[in-house]
Amino acid sequence: FTFQVIIDEKEFPQAEGKSKQEAKDAAAQLAFDILNSEHQEDGHANVSEVSSAGDYIGLVDSIAQMQNLSVNYEHFVSNTESSQR
């Protein structure tokens, strides 16, 4: 399974997982890591302070909510997924 996080039209890298939930969480982790490094470069507070003990979907959702941004988790269907249906 493959997911990608999109926050206010900003696309983050796609991530894969063995289940939809695993792929979605992996995509959220990538987005969180990028957001965290961008905020550190800008001199802002570390966004990891919004800790949810590794719940990256919750972290990304919290960050977006604090900044009043929309979040979308885009599911990509690969050829292998569509052939398994």
* Phi and psi, residue 81, nearest 5°: -65, -45
Regarding predicted confidence, which is higher, 75 or 47?
A: 75
What's the chain's average pLDDT? 82
Residue 28 is encoded by which pair of tokens?
A: 């959220």
pLDDT of residue 25: 94
pLDDT in tens, 15-41: 999 999 999 999 999 999 998 887 766
Q: How would you label 69-81 residue by residue, b for 16+ Cβ within 10 Å and e otherwise?
A: eebebeeeeeeee
pTM for the whole structure? 0.79
- Got the DSSP string for 28-66? HHHHHHHHHHHHHHTTPPPGGGS--TT-HHHHHHHHHHH
